[in-house]
Chain A
Amino acid sequence: MKNSIVIRVCMGPAGIAAGGRAVLDEFRKTLTDKKIPAEISNRCTHHQVGCMGLCARDVLVDVIIKGHKTSYEFVKPDMVRKIVDQHIIGGEPVKQWLADGHMHKFLEKQVKVVLSDCGVIDPEDIEAYISRGGYSSCEKIFGNFSPEELIHEIKLSGLRGRGGAGFPTGLKWELARKSEGNTKYIICNADEGDPGAFMDRAVIEGNPHSVIEGMITGAYATGAQKGYVYIRAEYPLAVERIKQAITQAREKNYLGKNIFGSSFNFDIEIKLGAGAFVCGEETALIASIEGQRGMPRAKPPFPVHKGLWGKPTVINNAETLANIPHIIRNGAAWFSGLGTEDSKGTKVFALTGKIKNSGLIEVPMGITLREIIHDIGGGLEPGKHLKAVQTGGPSGGCIPAEMLDIKVDYESLAKAGCIVGSGGMIVLDNDDCMVNIAKYFLNFTQSESCGKCVPCRIGTKRMLEMLERITNGLGQPGDIEKLEQLSADIKSGSLCGLGQTAPNPVLSTIKYFRDEYEAHIFDKKCPAGVCNSLLTFTIIEDRCKGCQACAKACPSKAITGEKKKPHAIDQSLCIKCGACFEVCKFRSVEKA
């Protein structure tokens, strides 16, 4: 075997932020060093990979010797020399830096389909993808499948859209296929606007060719000759990688005229989003590609009948498309063997918030939330208690800790008033105020509402004002009922998914955490200690060193005291901004 030693350095978003590039450079430098036996450095390849998943412990490095993989965590450039000397040359892993214990638990219950090559191959090298079976599904369909047979296969697999709504992909393709007209389009929706979600980013950064392969398949099935990737400009690395991948695919004639030796023509263009959450909605996305304000319109007509420039258009989410090559390669039966009765396959989640192993995970549909949090996520930090898990971002809701045995699939989450959504999963602990979380999401949807429908534009504003009042200690009896009423009105009176789901974070927190709302309104208390207006700030004399940092930070001059002597807060002047609490290095400011 020529290259029997492989070194992989994680260069996903977190890997780069933790210094992945410097680590890779250090490996390159060390391995070309004269002191390394030529025989070893010739056998050794090292390359970057996309997200390896366990972002919380980046930079992650895999060293693979004769097929045996060892993972290192928190790698810094100055550790590289020792790894090379002791492990690669000496054959003895550097025990104290190993990640294997965490990695094993983190990976044990995951099933990687979409992410199977992510963190393994060099995303900037098309040959790396091809060597893992990439583009073989395209080779298979051109010549062997008619578009109808292909659609039948996808329908059999049971694949549903991973962008949020969960519409069956095969059916969508069929509708576009049957739609009349010679010009059709396929769009990859990578406008991942949910705050707290980064699945599409990771897939495109870690394995951009899988998305392109899925798009080619979809184009063949529906008859589209032109494709667009609509991607957020906030993801510069993902944009760069998909651009590069498209160029490489063109060079191979996987894109362009008569692709894969057939008479079929297909090419892809990139369109950058300009920062509007509502553009994740299909008709708004189309308006944005057409160069207009991204405002949704009424459906029907659906995009599969009348979409971009009035032509039939299929819009699939990036993760959905990345599933397609695997379904073609392994067969529909294999795919439908994963997951539950109505939710087939796997789902990628961005597991973040107050959890130990935050990162990118892929699990079979139907896994319990408990397994995700405690087994894969490694639980919470010591001393913290799980309060709730928020899924589906601003369109979703919270699942309280008591319901931890809930199955994670489309139907079960919907029953609990939540959604799978695009895959954000944020863990909240006892330090998080649920009213504050609801306010956070409302603030987001209110500012992202396009303004077309009055209930959404003004209704979300009024709801936000009410939540602000409540968290400022000015809540009144009847506010909760008003929020519920207004929520119902906004849901029924809005055109698109943004408005129809905007009240969900409020409704689900009221449903499960009504007592917290009541504590804010009636007792003027924030049980989690988050809402400053409801807290009293005091200085603990024993701990105060008299450094005067708080007095300087206080905008209302409410803090007085001599240097090196305990300070005090004049409650009548305090505006409860929390500045003193933030600046105190001795934890002598207490809020309660």
Chain B
Amino acid sequence: MESILRDIVQRYIKESGSVVSILQDTQDRFGYIPHEAISYFSNELNIPESRFFGVATFYSQFYLKPRGKNIITACCGTACHVRGVDKTVSAVKRALELRPDEDTTDDNQFTLEKVACLGFCSIAPVVLVNGEVFGKAAAEKIVRKINSIRKSEDEE
């Protein structure tokens, strides 16, 4: 881990406005921002940890906890809202057996996240499954995809 973090620091050591970029690179590598990474950056760059946490908690893109292996992203932009993405979200929640306040399954296989707008408004509602775009995403389509991921993982 340390060698990865060292690389990231080296890349940005000369720039003063790099806290956001450092965190973006860290998240790219680990899928979330481990506390150890923040401690490391804080020591190396002599920037208080609080600044890293301040930035990390301000922007919705950053996660301080590990996320599921498969990411389901539901677009909750206006067009998706009026085209009924809520129904798809509740169906996905049922399929993943998530409690109302949960976003990751107990086995860490799936995370369901909501974003404001992905810019696919003309084919609303839109859901991404591991980056693959599902337009006019009726609940059954996404649930079927989830089941097929589960099945292929069981076989492995």
Contact = CB atoms under 8 A, between A and B. Distances in A.
Main secondary structure of the interface of A (DSSP, over half): mixed
B116 A277 contact: yes
Given A197-B121, A390-B78, A426-B78, A234 B55 contact: no
Question: Chain B interface: which size bin?
Answer: 35 or more
B135 A291 contact: no
B19 to A, nearest CB: 4
B20 A353 contact: no
A145 B113 CA distance: 51
Contacts of B94: 553, 579
Contacts of B133: 13, 16-17
A198 B54 CA distance: 29
Interface string B127-142: 0000001110001000
A289 B15 CA distance: 11
B115 A234 contact: yes
B86 to A, nearest CB: 9
B79 A353 contact: yes
B32 interface: no
B111 to A, nearest CB: 15
A350 B18 contact: no
B122 interface: yes
B59 A274 contact: yes
A13 B120 contact: yes
Contact of B91 (A202, A289, A582): A582
B121 A291 contact: no
Contacts of B82: 353-354, 426, 428, 432, 437
A111 B43 CA distance: 56
Interface string A202-235: 1000000000000000000000000000000111
A249 interface: no
Most chain B CB inside 10 Å of its own CB: which residue of A352, A390, A553: A352
A440 interface: yes
Contacts of B48: none
Contact of A195 (B83, B91, B116): B116
Contacts of A450: 58
Contacts of A428: 82
A390 to B, nearest CB: 7
A293 B79 contact: no
Given A198-B120, A291-B16, A579-B90, A274 B61 contact: yes
A350 B21 contact: no
B54 A293 contact: yes
Contacts of B20: 271, 274, 288, 291
B53 to A, nearest CB: 10
A387 to B, nearest CB: 11
B78 A360 contact: no
A16 B122 CA distance: 12
B24 A14 contact: no
A360 B122 contact: yes
B4 interface: no
Interface string A52-84: 000110100000000000000000000000000
A329 B76 CA distance: 40
Interface in A453-511: none
A350 B121 contact: yes
Nearest to A426: B78
Most chain B CB inside 10 Å of its own CB: which residue of A17, A292, A448: A17
Contact of A196 (B19, B61, B90, B117): B117
Interface string B87-127: 10011001000000000000000000001111111111010
Contacts of A582: 87, 90-91, 139
30 contacts: A13-B120, A13-B122, A14-B120, A14-B135, A17-B135, A18-B135, A58-B123, A193-B117, A195-B77, A234-B117, A271-B21, A272-B24, A274-B24, A274-B62, A276-B60, A291-B16, A291-B20, A292-B17, A294-B59, A350-B122, A353-B82, A358-B122, A393-B78, A426-B78, A428-B82, A432-B82, A437-B82, A440-B78, A450-B58, A582-B139
Interface of A: 13-14, 16-18, 55-56, 58, 192-198, 201-202, 233-235, 271-272, 274-277, 288-295, 309, 350-354, 358-360, 390, 393, 424, 426, 428, 432, 437, 440-441, 444, 448, 450, 553, 579, 582
Given A197-B121, A309-B17, 13 more contacts: A14-B123, A17-B133, A17-B135, A56-B122, A201-B119, A293-B58, A294-B58, A350-B121, A352-B78, A358-B121, A424-B78, A426-B79, A440-B78
Interface of B: 16-21, 23-24, 54-55, 58-62, 76-79, 81-83, 87, 90-91, 94, 115-124, 126, 133-135, 139
Minimum-distance CB pairs A-B, first 4: A55-B122, A196-B78, A198-B119, A195-B77
